Structure 1
């Protein structure tokens, strides 16, 4: 029996607490190195044992098991092993199984008295990062006794967890899941109020993780052109929520100010712009997607989007973000005759021009 097999023999729920703790400590240490993680991934039964121990009656044991799973799931191979390791055919597990990692983590998140809900959020965020895992995770969430609507409600309910868990990492999980058309259809169901409940978190100061996750989710939703009119309509009104984090405390002439959405008018001197350049870039990427249709471009011009972006461009220092801003402005300042197409995606750009523009963008960022 090698050392890993010996350790695994103590990773049982019914093992003595002290032996279980020592064995789990060894496993947690191994998850901190690439070689250690590779060694563990060759033992599917050990991964299964960790999922069982994440539900241990001892909070300290359960916490260490969750920390080990966080580390293992951070890499694609580890996340897939945790999702599929118990099925030799590589298919998703039975949603009723106590060793189904998605079901176990969702139950932790939905339990308001769980002290491990934040760890569970991190694990699900990791599991959904590889695009090949997303549909499996959605399927399991829908079969585990809770709805996606309930998961969103938990995220948007302040103080839901009574043990101090903040559930911020559900934001990145939503962003990952929104790569799937299945999840985007759920978010943008016109008969329900789902995406509207996420909009306020574009300005959530307490956590850039939550803020960035929701901005990423909204950015992905903006890729669905068929929903642009609805997203920009009063039923959702996404535009102010994308522009407000990019707005500063600048004062404008009354004639300019009156054209802005009310949320962007007469902002206080203390108004700060989004501090994270990656989030600023995602906001601009959402805006450029919304520029696809003529009706959307006209609405964005009417609501003086250019004014906010003009002042933002003066302030921005990050070259990658500046380029994203200029791409939006370049569309908005053109007349519709110059654009020449209702849907901007219908414009046929020759390959040589596309390559030339790409090279220009790369040179701009490097400059």
Structure 2
């Protein structure tokens, strides 16, 4: 703690640049260890100075401050300390920066197309929104900053927005984390804004697993709202092909099966590959399963010949979580509505006889 107190002298915005940079490098080194992070978080004054240095006129200093926050915010217990860091009465001298607070500082960095360390700010926001307990407060603060969610979606969808090479991929997990909240889902599913339609293409974004996973997680969360299922499956959104395409491989189907598939899934090239990440595959399957909650929508999903895509996926799939998600969905689609016996279903578990059947199919497949 004595070492930290010495460093504090040089961690002010008006400190000499060389001294400030050296002190911050030591802070960054400390944040690389669990003990170091614990030590820093035990001193709100240090956390406060690190946040303020994210606004430094020197990009290298601001970048190191942001990187320090990435490491610190990875610990869930540090999130409330970061959120409250600029709310202390001891900050009266900070003036205008104090009134901005941490979320505003992060968003100003993220939306500045000339700051190369914007990705670090996105990662801090992603870390801070991971614990669901703080999502509501963070969403409220985002709405108070004057930087709208529309702006964040726009710059996320504009590949190459940042002129210094920041890709803003970590905004994807931010959207996913916040979409646990009904207020965020109301924004995403607003019929007039067309937000969800702009995000759909990123289920196939090959350049970033982080971006892809974040958007698939967002879509999966939006599928929890049953009242929106009909609209999501309508031509206005047409979510199903975007959920199925990453699950499809290069398999060829006969003409009858092929013609029943959505156009996006017909005659796929021989080099077509499935989503390589098993967690993302599981989320895609869970999203489609949620869309099967109502009888009318189950009929639509069956009529799109979803089953043949899942049949081939099941032969190929080796991850147990994704396999179970696939089996749950197949169980819904292969049963008649009379067998299901309910107009609305919230959760379907694979019956023991079908689970045994699927297991035998797995064993046969592994032997081939």
Q: What is the TM-score with the length of structure 2 in the denominator?
A: 0.91
Show the 5 A alignment for 1:104-119: 104-119=105-120
Deviation at 1:86, TM superposition (A): 3.8
1:51 touches 1:99 (CA, 8 Å); kept in 2?
Answer: no
Deviation at 1:77, TM superposition (A): 0.9
Find out whether 1:266 has 2:242 as its counterpart.
Answer: no
Find out whether 1:38 has 2:42 as its counterpart.
Answer: no
Match of 1:6 in 2: 6
Find the aligned partners of 1:171 and 1:111 in 2 and give their Cα distance: 18
Show the 5 A alignment for 1:183-198: 183-198=184-199
2:87 touches 2:98 (CA, 8 Å); kept in 1?
Answer: no
Deviation at 1:84, TM superposition (A): 2.0
Deviation at 1:157, TM superposition (A): 0.6
Q: Deviations over 1:122-154 (max 9, x none)?
A: 111011001011111111111111110111000
2:86 touches 2:98 (CA, 8 Å); kept in 1?
Answer: no
Structure 2: runs of 5 or more not aligned: 90-94, 364-368
Find out whether 1:26 has 2:26 as its counterpart.
Answer: yes
Deviation at 1:346, TM superposition (A): 8.5
1:12 touches 1:49 (CA, 8 Å); kept in 2?
Answer: yes
Deviation at 1:345, TM superposition (A): 2.4
Find out whether 1:324 has 2:325 as its counterpart.
Answer: yes
Show the 5 A alignment for 1:295-314: 295-314=296-315
Match of 2:135 in 1: 134
Deviation at 1:120, TM superposition (A): 0.8
Task: Check 1:99–1:142 CA distance in 2 against 1; reply closer, same or farther (3 A cut).
Answer: closer
Match of 2:204 in 1: 203
2:100 touches 2:145 (CA, 8 Å); kept in 1?
Answer: no
Find the aligned partners of 1:52 and 1:39 in 2 and give their Cα distance: 19
Show the 5 A alignment for 1:1-367: 2-87=2-87, 97=98, 100-345=101-346
Deviation at 1:57, TM superposition (A): 1.1
Task: Check 1:78–1:95 CA distance in 2 against 1; reply closer, same or farther (3 A cut).
Answer: farther
Task: Check 1:195–1:78 CA distance in 2 against 1; reply closer, same or farther (3 A cut).
Answer: same
Query: Which deviates the most, 26-35 or 275-284?
Result: 26-35
User: CA-atom RMSD, angstroms?
Assistant: 2.4
Match of 2:366 in 1: none
Find the aligned partners of 1:346 and 1:203 in 2 and give their Cα distance: 27
Find the aligned partners of 2:156 and 2:20 in 1 and give their Cα distance: 33
Find the aligned partners of 2:304 and 2:23 in 1 and give their Cα distance: 61
1:244 touches 1:263 (CA, 8 Å); kept in 2?
Answer: yes
Q: State how many pairs are aligned.
A: 353
Find the aligned partners of 2:107 and 2:116 in 1 and give their Cα distance: 13
Deviation at 1:98, TM superposition (A): 5.4
Task: Check 1:95–1:267 CA distance in 2 against 1; reply closer, same or farther (3 A cut).
Answer: farther
Find the aligned partners of 2:253 and 2:34 in 1 and give their Cα distance: 55
Q: Deviations over 1:170-217 (max 9, x none)?
A: 001111010000000000011221000000000000000000000000
Q: Secondary structure at the match of 2:346?
A: helix
Find the aligned partners of 1:257 and 1:220 in 2 and give their Cα distance: 30
Deviation at 1:285, TM superposition (A): 0.8
Q: Deviations over 1:17-62 (max 9, x none)?
A: 1211221111111111111111111111111101111111111111
Structure 1: runs of 5 or more not aligned: none
Find the aligned partners of 1:96 and 1:12 in 2 and give their Cα distance: 13
Q: Deviations over 1:239-285 (max 9, x none)?
A: 00000000011111111111100000000011010011111111111
